[in-house]
Structure 1
Amino acid sequence: MDFLYFPEDKTEYLPVLIELLVLLVLCFIVFNLFRRISKKQELKAKEIEERILREKQHQSAPNKTEE
């Protein structure tokens, strides 16, 4: 039983190499897309967090002056 097939004609490797290169390029593109989207989400979350903290500080400041 031959589980591995190594062709004598090395040109049979070309379609596989082309497919591998295409998939690697697609993986690279998708990875960078995920990184870019993640960065945007991180900035949005940071803005929301800062806004919430400012609102809390603004609401707690008048309460402290009343005491």
Structure 2
Amino acid sequence: MNGWFILNLFLYFPEDKSEYIPAAFWMLLFLVFTIYTFRWIVRVSKKQEEQTREMAEEVTRKRQKQNS
């Protein structure tokens, strides 16, 4: 029962629906930034994966030369 009272404190539905426009703008802006950030992280991760793969191949080649 006490939880519902706390939730009701944060609920606000304006009569003038134009008050939703700034909230929609900021939500869209943050969504775009989130997508951009996610794509950037994936791109950096792929570069790091390739670098790691190259280093592993180099170590493998050096070990094979030492064993030969």
Same fold (TM over 0.5): yes
2:18 partner SS = helix
Instruction: Give the superposition deviation at 1:7.
Output: 0.4
TM-score (norm 1): 0.87
1:38 aligns with 2:45: yes
Q: Find the aligned partners of 1:46 and 1:5 in 2 and give their Cα distance.
A: 53
Q: Find the aligned partners of 2:26 and 2:37 in 1 and give their Cα distance.
A: 16
Indicate the structure (1 or 2) with the bigger Cα radius of gyration.
1
Stretches of 4+ aligned residues off by more than 6 angstroms:
none
Instruction: Give the superposition deviation at 1:47.
Output: 0.1
Matches within 5 A, 1:10-25: 10-25=17-32
Aligned residues: 61
- My pick for the range that moved more, 41-50 or 3-12, is 3-12
Q: Find the aligned partners of 2:59 and 2:12 in 1 and give their Cα distance.
A: 62
1:60 aligns with 2:67: yes
TM-score (norm 2): 0.86
- Corresponding letter in the other structure for 2:50: L
How many percent identity over aligned positions? 41
